[in-house]
């Protein structure tokens, strides 16, 4: 039997559009000889639907859309669709996260998700009731081990212990399926491809069954999905692989599809593809903006953000703005001009000196007798933010925030200034990885799209005379070693000190900065998630708290 994996890009809440997309792909799969077409998890609603699932009208409309798909798919063909279905047991949550098998206008069978993740960006226990058992589906002489996303991750270890004491695939394997089919909405993070590879290969070898994985693709607000759908033979090797970061339709013929496929995945190209897709889908799926707006400082972050936006949307849909102040270097303007010319985007120059001068005059009496410092510096950043937001308001452009993860982590950013915007493109990209992206963009283009001076000059906010980031922060390669371990790998002070060999006081100071600037990050625009732990919906820390790891260490130290 030929089986199709339909890696599609649904939009959250667009029930009609998603249903049409499912039907079109099912028809294409039929034309290509497939008897069964498999679609991703919750593809009918888009993932994650969040509190839309608490609206009765949305739930009712979802079931109507599912019936419509059942009637519209090609006759004689089976289609597996991910959708919420009502829980009619009378107890528990009102819905199940389901994989529904449709054929000839009817629901032939359905399986419910057993493991409902509640870590990082996932909050499925909020909405769904877990399945109480797993059952193999018998269909056209095949025994299908159909299951949903997290159900295959039960064996993965987290924090040196297993996250679940249940094994859905073990339960299915005991029922002697002919193959496993997993439908997923598994988000991208750097390195996730290899992790999926290892997990699926292990499952195949353990249970000696082929494994088909159909994952969604596209971006919905912060979350980016890379697709990465594939078929593995029973011995574990992948024999059929979908394109990543794009819609694709795989049709697997068990008789002729026995070939090994391997796609090399590197973090920097993957981040580039994920960020580009994230920008494009944010703009296209919201449908609110014709163009993107980027404040250009001549620095690396704004240059990379602008280059990504131009690739995602087309140069004609990106506007750059350079806003020199009295502290701006010559390169701030000339490097921005060179970047805009290289990309072919529109560039505006609006000096902020009059605005800063006006604020200085307005605040002169209130600030009298005090020394100039951060407050005066930030007036410049806020004047730029106000200027950009005025342009966004006037022309309906989406303002892209340019701050990177390193700066966001330690609070090296200005509320209502450089943090202004509708989408934070680099907020999950450490500074050293921003430089890697810049080099990759130039390598791919075969020319210096991002000016070499932008890459080589010392980073600076240019809010004071002779200012450099290094005046306030350790070198970024040092800072990022600390931040990567603390935020993404969830390691603590002593372990970071051991692994890096850095001074304890330095590491402790950085960790305190991260903890104490949560209030800033909570007011930042949504950021594209490209790591295992991004700021935003996947990292939830209290703003009001008095956690001090060093104080606790002193209090609990042995006496004497």
pLDDT in tens, 217-273: 999 999 999 999 999 999 999 998 999 999 999 999 887 765 567 666 789 999 999
Low-confidence residues in the chain, pLDDT < 50: 158-159
Single residue among 238, 263, 288 that ends a domain in this structure: 263
Residues 311 and 370 in one domain: yes
Residues 276 and 257 in one domain: no
Whole-angstrom distance, CA of residue 249 vs CA of residue 241: 10
358 inside domain: yes
385 inside domain: yes
pLDDT of the residue at 558 = 62
201 labelled catalytic: no
Whole-angstrom distance, CA of residue 509 vs CA of residue 549: 11
Write down the pTM of the prediction.
Answer: 0.94
Q: Which residue has the tokens 């991004």?
A: 534
Residues 303 and 431 in one domain: yes
Q: What is the CA radius of gyration of the chain?
A: 26
483 inside domain: yes
Residues 222 and 312 in one domain: no
CATH number for the domain spanning 58: value is 3.60.110.10
Residues 239 and 334 in one domain: no
CA 337 vs CA 301, 319, 341, 448, 497: distances in Å: 15, 12, 6, 13, 43
List the catalytic residue out of 149, 204, 214, 241: 149
Residues 98 and 228 in one domain: yes
List the catalytic residue out of 41, 311, 377, 488: 41
For residues 215 and 8, the answer to whether their CB atoms sit within 8 Å is no
| Total number of domains in the chain | 2
149 labelled catalytic: yes
For residues 414 and 378, the answer to whether their CB atoms sit within 8 Å is yes
387 inside domain: yes
Q: Which residue has the tokens 């988000």?
A: 187
List the catalytic residue out of 113, 291, 338, 520: 113
Residues 53 and 7 in one domain: yes
Residue range(s) defining the domain that contains residue 61: 3-263
Sign of CA dihedral 521, 526, 530, 531: positive
Contacts of 73 (CB under 8 A, 6+ apart): 22, 23, 26, 27, 37, 79, 102
CA 499 vs CA 400, 432, 487, 507: distances in Å: 36, 19, 15, 11
pLDDT of the residue at 557 = 57
């Amino acid at each position: 039997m030929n089986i199709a994996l339909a890696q599609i890009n649904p939009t959250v809440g667009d029930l009609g559009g998603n249903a049409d997309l499912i039907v079109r792909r099912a028809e294409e799969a039929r034309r290509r000889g497939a008897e069964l077409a498999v679609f991703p998890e919750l593809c009918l609603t888009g993932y994650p639907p969040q509190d839309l699932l608490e609206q009765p009208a949305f739930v009712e409309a979802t079931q109507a859309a599912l019936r419509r798909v059942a009637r519209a798919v090609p006759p004689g063909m089976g289609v597996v669709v991910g959708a919420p279905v009502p829980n009619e047991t009378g107890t528990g949550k009102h819905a199940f996260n389901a994989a529904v098998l449709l054929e000839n206008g009817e629901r032939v069978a359905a399986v419910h998700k057993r493991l409902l993740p509640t870590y990082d960006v996932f909050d499925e226990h909020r909405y769904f009731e877990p399945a109480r058992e797993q059952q193999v589906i018998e269909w056209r002489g095949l025994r299908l081990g159909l299951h949903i996303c997290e159900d295959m991750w039960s064996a993965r270890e987290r924090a040196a212990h297993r996250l679940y004491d249940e094994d859905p695939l073990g339960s299915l394997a005991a029922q002697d399926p002919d193959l496993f089919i997993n439908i997923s909405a598994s988000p991208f993070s750097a390195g996730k491809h290899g992790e999926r590879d290892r997990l699926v290969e292990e499952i195949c070898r353990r249970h000696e069954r082929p494994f088909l994985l159909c994952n969604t693709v596209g971006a919905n607000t912060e979350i980016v999905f890379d697709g990465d759908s594939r078929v593995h033979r029973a011995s574990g090797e992948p024999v059929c692989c979908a394109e990543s970061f794009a819609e694709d339709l795989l049709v697997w013929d068990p008789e002729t599809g026995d070939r090994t496929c391997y796609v090399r995945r590197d973090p920097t190209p993957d981040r580039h593809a994920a960020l580009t897709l994230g920008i494009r889908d944010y703009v296209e799926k919201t449908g609110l903006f014709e163009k993107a707006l980027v404040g250009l400082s001549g620095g690396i972050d704004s240059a990379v953000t602008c280059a990504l936006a131009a690739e995602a949307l087309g140069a004609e849909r990106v506007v750059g703005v350079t806003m020199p102040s009295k502290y701006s270097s010559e390169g701030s303007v000339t490097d921005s001009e060179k970047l805009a010319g290289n990309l072919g985007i529109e560039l505006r120059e609006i000096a902020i000196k009059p605005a800063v001068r006006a604020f200085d005059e307005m605040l002169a009496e209130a600030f009298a007798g005090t020394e100039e410092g951060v407050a005066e510096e930030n007036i410049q950043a806020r004047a730029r933010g106000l200027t950009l937001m005025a342009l966004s308001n006037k022309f309906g452009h989406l303002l892209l925030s340019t701050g990177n993860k390193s700066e966001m982590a330690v609070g090296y950013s200005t509320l209502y200034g450089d943090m202004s915007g509708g989408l934070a493109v680099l907020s999950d990209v450490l500074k050293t990885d921003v430089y890697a992206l810049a080099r990759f963009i130039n390598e791919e283009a075969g020319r210096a799209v991002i000016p070499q001076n932008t890459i080589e000059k010392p980073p600076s906010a240019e809010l004071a005379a002779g200012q450099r980031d290094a005046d306030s922060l350790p070198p970024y390669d040092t800072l990022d070693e600390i931040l990567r371990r603390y935020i993404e790998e969830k390691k603590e002070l002593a372990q970071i000190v051991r692994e890096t060999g850095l001074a304890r006081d330095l590491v402790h100071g950085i960790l305190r900065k991260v903890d104490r600037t949560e209030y800033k990050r909570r007011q930042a625009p949504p950021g594209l998630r490209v790591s295992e732990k991004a700021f935003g919906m996947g990292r939830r820390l209290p703003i009001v708290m008095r956690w001090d790891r060093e104080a606790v260490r002193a209090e609990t130290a042995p006496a004497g």
